[in-house]
């Protein structure tokens, strides 16, 4: 059996080879590219059965993970639901830390491993449970919605968890006229507008940070796409700034974006989002053209075939997901409330 060091070395060797492979779109790999990837794909799929493991992958991970070894691919909401139903002994979560942590909270009897180790997220890392406690003191009595891109500590201090797929629906159902929303300050601003558009008036008070991928988009990105491609439909994630979202044709999470494109009669789409989703859209819609404005989540890309193999054979400490019991119990309440309210 290879040691962790061997696997890491092999991982960086393959990763540098994969850098020369056209990852966009994954479907355009050459036979040589496939020959590089195939042995690892086959070995992971064999080991999955032997070790009784199930692989969940977010749509922002690399195509060789999504298409080669994952048992389920989806957005934060879909993957949380999928995690709750896993029967196998081990969940391998190719995503970022808060996603794997959520899976562990939802299905605590499973061993949960994250190939990329402590792959962060600028949103989840923007706020601690203590920060939220202090913010709550400034708005006594206001219910707290936390975006799923948050730590277990923040979830434990919140009333209901939300994702991009259900944030408007759940916010509209919350009692009272004021809501605390954390930790995505741009999504909080978008939420105010999206609720108003539905005739729901609520004050959203917020604190936290922003997504380092989606907060980079500016209004000029939209304008220059429209100038170059008249009639283009432009899609963006609600983690982007409201002034940019206001100029787009669709604002929604990853599953919503896939659905919009699949159902649309239009042929050309502008994407202000992460490359992994672009890969999926191109794969699923070969008759449509996608114009992409750069955006890559380095945290999601930390998951490779090699560290997936490592997690399956000899998981390193940093790949094993644990959540303190009391925190997990409180966080589970807030996640279960989301499942209940999004039905």
Provide the binding-site residues for ligand 13P, judged by CB under 6 A: 75-76, 149, 163-164, 211, 237, 239, 253-254
> Which does residue 299 touch among ligand SF4, ligand 13P, none (CB within 5 to 8 A, set by kind)?
ligand SF4
> Which does residue 122 touch among ligand 13P, ligand SF4, none (CB within 5 to 8 A, set by kind)?
ligand SF4
> Which does residue 212 touch among ligand SF4, ligand 13P, none (CB within 5 to 8 A, set by kind)?
ligand SF4
State the nearest-atom distance from the C-beta of 121 to ligand SF4, in Å. 3
Q: Does residue number 188 form part of the binding site for ligand SF4 (CB under 6 A)?
A: no
**265-284 footprint of ligand SF4 as x/- string (CB under 6 A):** ---------x----------
Residue nearest to ligand 13P (CB): 253
Q: Given the rule CB under 6 A, which of 156-164, 191-199, 209-217, 302-310 is the region that contacts ligand SF4?
A: 209-217
Residue 211 CB neighbours (<10 A): 24
State the nearest-atom distance from the C-beta of 14 to ligand 13P, in Å. 25
> Which does residue 164 touch among ligand 13P, ligand SF4, none (CB within 5 to 8 A, set by kind)?
ligand 13P
List binders of ligand SF4 among 278-337 (CB under 6 A).
Answer: 297, 299-300
**96-135 footprint of ligand SF4 as x/- string (CB under 6 A):** x------------------------xxx------------
Q: Does residue number 240 form part of the binding site for ligand SF4 (CB under 6 A)?
A: no
Q: What are phi and psi of 54, to 5 degrees?
A: -130, 130
Comparing CB distances to ligand SF4, the nearer of 36 and 218 is: 218
> Which does residue 304 touch among ligand SF4, ligand 13P, none (CB within 5 to 8 A, set by kind)?
none
For the chain, the three-class secondary structure string (H helix, E strand, C coil) is CCCHHHHHHHHHHHHHHHHCCCCCCHHHCCHHHHHHHHHHHHHHHHHHHHCCEEEEEECCCCHHHHCCCCCEEECHHHHHHHHHHCCCCEEEEECCHHHHHHHHHHCCCCEEECCCCCCCCCCHHHCCHHHHHHHHHHCCCCCEEEECCCCHHHHHCCCEEECCCCHHHHHHHCCCCEEEEECEHHHHHHHHHHHHHCCCCCEEEECCECCCCHHHCCHHHHHHHHHHCCCCEEEECCCCCHHHHCCCCEECCHHHHHHHHHHCCCCEEEEECCHHHHHHHHHHCCCCEEEECCCCCCCHHHCCHHHHHHHHHCCCHHHECCCCHHHHHHHHHHHHHHHHHCC
State the nearest-atom distance from the C-beta of 42 to ligand SF4, in Å. 29
Residues of this chain that interact with ligand SF4 (CB under 6 A) are 96, 121-123, 149, 211-213, 239, 274, 297, 299-300
């Amino acid at each position: 059996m290879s040691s962790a060091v061997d696997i890491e070395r092999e991982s960086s060797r393959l990763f540098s080879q994969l850098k020369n492979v056209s990852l966009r779109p994954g479907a355009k790999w050459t036979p040589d590219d496939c020959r590089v990837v195939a042995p690892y794909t086959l070995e992971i799929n064999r080991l999955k059965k032997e070790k009784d493991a199930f692989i969940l992958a977010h749509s922002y991970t690399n195509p060789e993970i999504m298409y080669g070894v994952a048992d389920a691919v989806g957005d934060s909401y879909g993957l949380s639901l999928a995690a709750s139903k896993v029967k196998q002994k081990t969940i391998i979560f190719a995503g970022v830390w808060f996603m794997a942590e959520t899976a562990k909270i939802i299905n605590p009897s499973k061993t949960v491993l994250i190939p990329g180790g402590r792959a962060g997220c600028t949103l989840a890392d923007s706020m601690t449970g203590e920060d939220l406690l202090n913010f709550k003191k400034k708005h006594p009595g206001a219910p707290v919605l936390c975006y799923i891109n948050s730590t277990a500590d923040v979830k434990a201090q919140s009333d209901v968890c939300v994702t991009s797929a259900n944030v408007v629906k759940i916010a509209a159902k919350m009692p009272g006229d004021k809501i605390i929303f954390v930790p995505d300050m741009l999504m909080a601003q978008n939420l105010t507008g999206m609720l108003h558009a539905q005739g729901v008036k609520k004050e959203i008070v917020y604190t936290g940070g922003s997504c380092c991928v989606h907060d980079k988009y500016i209004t000029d990105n939209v304008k220059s796409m429209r100038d170059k491609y008249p009639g283009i439909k432009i899609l963006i994630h609600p983690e982007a700034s409201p002034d940019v979202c206001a100029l787009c044709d669709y604002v929604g999470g990853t599953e919503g974006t896939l659905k919009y494109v699949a159902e649309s009669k239009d042929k050309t789409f502008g994407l202000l989002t992460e490359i992994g989703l672009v890969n999926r859209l191109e794969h699923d819609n070969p008759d449509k053209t996608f114009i992409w404005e750069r955006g890559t989540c380095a945290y999601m890309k930390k998951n490779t075939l090699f560290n997936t193999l490592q997690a399956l054979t000899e998981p390193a400490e940093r790949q094993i997901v644990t959540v303190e019991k009391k925190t997990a119990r409180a966080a589970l309440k807030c996640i279960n409330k989301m499942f209940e309210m999004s039905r």
